[in-house]
Every structure is written in structure tokens, then in C-alpha cells.
């Protein structure tokens, strides 16, 4: 069983940045609600706020388009019963959001450097980029536990492909 991959549109009209437009089109194709709006406050992630299970994005304040994938990853991996409450401080969900965003980047043929940019991950973006491109993944066991993917070490011949392939794009349990 293969998770549906969004049909990528060439642009999302609200976003002048081509990376942001492409990522927004991909995420909307997966069913994410994304509202381009003016944000009055400084957000933890510049230009992006997770609110009530949706992304609020200020195109003028969005510094790093790859952050859209990571923040969408938080929505995707959050406990469905708490999804509306916003981003959890659970370390497992944080690691799972990183793994989810990497799989999403690959699914849309996006250079992982857009995701793991110089301004992200509290100075750890370079290490994450290196680890993920070498196949050393954090967060994948959580994704597998929730039925979103299969850990590479647990893949079976003839079975579904392992991570970074996704079986589903949102946690349901």
C-alpha cells in the first residue's frame, strides 16, 4: 500500500518564493490547511504558526521555506485527539516531525538542503542533513509505531518499501 503523494502544482499564488509555493502546493495536495495571512507576532519559526491543526503562514516573514515541511510534520505526527491544541513539546513527536519532513522533501523531489537549512534546528541542521542523507534516521521508529512507514531494518522482501517511503501521511492513532 502506497501513501498518496500530492500532485504538485507549479505555484500557490499567495507565495512569491518558488520553494514556498511548491511546498505549499504539495502540502495542500496532502490535505493540509494552509492560510496565507499577516502575522502580527514574532513566531518561534519565522513566518509560520501552527494553530488549530493548520498552518498560518506570513509570506513576507517566512525566512526558510523548508520550515513549512517541518511544521506540517508536527501536525501530521501529533496525537489526533490533541492535534487542534497545537505543537506538542514531546521529544518523540519532534524527532518524528523531522523524519516526516525529510520523507516529504524526498517525495516531492526537494533538495534536503532546503529542509535542513543553515538557520534551523538550533544549529544542528548540518548534522541532520548529513545523517539523513547517509541513511541514519532519527524519528523513524515513532513513524513506524504509528503505521506511517516501515523501519528499514524491518522491511521484508516483497513487502512495502521502507522509510523514506510513507504508507500514510498523517497519524490516526
For residue range 93-124, what is the model confidence (pLDDT) as tens digits? 999 999 999 999 999 999 999 999 999 998 89
Give the CA count within 13 Å in the CB-facing half-sphere of 67: 23
Contact call for residues 25 and 104 (beta carbons, < 8 A): no
Distance CA 43, CA 35 (A): 15
Q: Measured at the alpha carbon of residue 81, what is the angle toward residues 76 and 86, in degrees to the nearest 5?
A: 60
Predicted local distance difference test score (pLDDT) of residue 13: 75
Residue 48: strand pairing partners: 45, 57
Q: Which three cell numbers stand for residue 95?
A: 524527532
Asked if the model's pLDDT at residue 9 lies above 50, the reply is no
Contact call for residues 151 and 141 (beta carbons, < 8 A): yes
DSSP 41: S
Q: Residue 18 to residues 14, 21, 26, 51, 160: CA-CA distances in angstroms?
A: 11, 5, 12, 24, 33
Asked if the model's pLDDT at residue 158 lies above 50, the reply is yes
| Residue of higher predicted confidence among 104 and 39 | 104
Predicted local distance difference test score (pLDDT) of residue 10: 39
Band the pLDDT of 44: cuts 50, 70, 90.
confident
- pLDDT one-digit tens code per residue, 125-157: 999 999 999 999 999 999 999 999 999 999 999
For 172: left if phi > 0, alpha if psi spans -120 to 50, otherwise beta; the answer is alpha
Asked if the model's pLDDT at residue 50 lies above 80, the reply is yes
Cis peptide bond N-terminal to 170, omega within 30: no
Instruction: Report the chain's mean pLDDT, rounded to a whole number.
Output: 91
The rounded percent of the chain whose pLDDT value lies above 70 is 93
Q: How many Cβ atoms from other residues are within 10 Å of residue 94's Cβ?
A: 18
| CA pseudo-torsion sign 40, 41, 46, 47 | negative
Predicted local distance difference test score (pLDDT) of residue 52: 92
Band the pLDDT of 12: cuts 50, 70, 90.
low
Amino acid at each position: 500500500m502506497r501513501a498518496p503523494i500530492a500532485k504538485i502544482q507549479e505555484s500557490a499564488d499567495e507565495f512569491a518564493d518558488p520553494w514556498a509555493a511548491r511546498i505549499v502546493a504539495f502540502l495542500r495536495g496532502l490535505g493540509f490547511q494552509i492560510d496565507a495571512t499577516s502575522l502580527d507576532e514574532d513566531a518561534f519559526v519565522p513566518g509560520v504558526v501552527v494553530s488549530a491543526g493548520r498552518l498560518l503562514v506570513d509570506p513576507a516573514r517566512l525566512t526558510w521555506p523548508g520550515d513549512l515541511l517541518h511544521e506540517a510534520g508536527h501536525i501530521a505526527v501529533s496525537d489526533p485527539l490533541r492535534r487542534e491544541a497545537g505543537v506538542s513539546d514531546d521529544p518523540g513527536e519532534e524527532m518524528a516531525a523531522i523524519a516526516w519532513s525529510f520523507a516529504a522533501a524526498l517525495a516531492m523531489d526537494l533538495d534536503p538542503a532546503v529542509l535542513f537549512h543553515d538557520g534551523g534546528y538550533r544549529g544542528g541542521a548540518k548534522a541532520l542533513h548529513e545523517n539523513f542523507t547517509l541513511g541514519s534516521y532519527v524519528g523513524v521508529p515513532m513513524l513506524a509505531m504509528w503505521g506511517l512507514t516501515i523501519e528499514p531494518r524491518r522491511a521484508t522482501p516483497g513487502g512495502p518499501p521502507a522509510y523514506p517511503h510513507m504508507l500514510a501521511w498523517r497519524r490516526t492513532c
